[in-house]
Amino acid sequence: MNQEALILFNLAEALGIGLLIGAEREQRMSQTDVKSSAGIRTFAITALLGAVAQLTGGVALLAAAVLGVVLLAGLAYWRGRAENVGLTTEIALVMTVLLGGLSVTQPLVAAGVGVVMAVLLASRAYLHDFVRSVMTEQELRDGLMLAAATLVVLPVLPNQTFGPYAVLNPYLMWSVVIMVMVISAAGHVAVRVYGAQYGLAMTGFASGFVSSTATIRDMAGRVHKIPAQLLGAGAGALLSSVSTVLTMALVLAATSLATLDAMAQPLLVGGLVAAMYAAPWAIAALRAPPTLAENVPPGEAVTPVVQTRAISLRAGLAFSVALAAIMLASTAVQQEFGPNALIAAAALAGLVNTQSAAISVALMVGSGQIAPQDAVLPILAAISTNTGMRVALAATLGGAGFAGRVIPGLLLGLAATWAAVFLPVTIPLWG
């Protein structure tokens, strides 16, 4: 593309951005009694002004153009302040001249920002209704907490190991905290959007990526308090076991591909059996009519779901601390007593969290402390003790109906995982 064609393309893009934003503002004015001095023509010309200023005078002339638009927009707002029209159109006008200039230097960025801006302007009613009527104050605070944890805290943490055996990494530990918070938020949103009957199954699957043990404990508690949620809670508990297997594969892939290769067949077979058992219950929960909980007193089926925290910082910190403790203990046991003692250490760690135990063992493989095949039994030991913990929770907290649905699936999945290790033939997993 020659220089003249490129200039024409940039000007056309600036014009398109101005027309898009201006069309939305013009449509907005036609739906209300509020009059504005900036319509589709004004926005189109403003975008072209930014582009021409950037082309002819660079950043200096663009800055002068922006200053002029700011003064004109401020004057327009001052003249219409009695009508309480707000600043949206004026700010959009200033953004449009900046996007016009940006279309010359960064056309793809300008186009993307322009579309996002138009969508935000057009979604005014939906966004206002969501913030005022749908989102709770607690959810807003939780969202801000997640943003601070991700954008403020994480970037300043050192990404290096320290401490005993050099296994602790602050950046990694806090990333785990954020992961738990994000998954917790996803589960909360699922319940809020789809309701308890459908949302519990989705929440169980999402929460299993963090901790199937905690998920089963929560689902059992829900059934104990609200028996009508048995179908959804049971499906969620079973699906959490499926997502736990997927999580195991993901963490091993991220930590040690050699360990994943050694564990691939047991995870595949165990995961398939768990999924096959959970599928009928999940389908039944998703197909069940929403009127299933009609016999529940008003508000009882909704209140516990709506009032749950969208994001749990405490849960994330607890998971991260458990991971750090398990990594330290596993490394210490292996170095002091040898690989055989590692199985017992992993089994104890599995009582807390399977993923944490698997990560710690996989890190040993990655560092050359143990061979990949030596990691299989410790990981299976962790899976076994964790399954035993989940069975105990289901039996003691959820009642006979919950236990009768969940426990057989847990035991079948565990049996299939162990059986896959001793299969006479190896399934070709990698082609």
Model pLDDT for residues 332-356, shown as the tens digit of each residue: 776 777 666 788 888 887 877 787 7
Picking from 154, 211, 161, the residue whose alpha carbon sits closest to that of residue 178 is 154
Whole-angstrom Cα Rg for the chain: 28
Sign for the CA dihedral angle at 141, 143, 146, 147 comes to negative
For the stretch 86-95, pLDDT in tens is: 678 888 899 9
For the stretch 194-220, pLDDT in tens is: 665 567 787 788 778 777 887 888 888
Most confident option among 117-126, 256-265, 303-312? 256-265
Average pLDDT over residues 272-278: 94
Name the average pLDDT for the chain.
81
Pairwise CA distance, residues 221 & 226, whole Å? 8
Q: What percent of the chain has pLDDT over 90?
A: 29
Pairwise CA distance, residues 25 & 38, whole Å? 8
Sorting pLDDT into bands at 50, 70 and 90, what band is 15? very high
For the stretch 363-399, pLDDT in tens is: 778 878 788 888 899 999 999 999 998 999 999 988 8
Tokens describing residue 122: 């057009």
Cα-Cα-Cα-Cα torsion 214, 216, 222, 223, nearest 10 degrees, comes to -160
pLDDT at residue 321 tops 70: yes
Which of 123-127, 296-300, 395-399 shows the lowest mean pLDDT across its residues? 296-300
Alpha-helical regions (H) of 226-353: 230-255, 257-287, 303-306, 313-337, 339-350
Name the one residue in this structure whose structure tokens are 């944490």. Answer: 356
Average pLDDT over residues 10-30: 88
Tokens describing residue 365: 């493989």
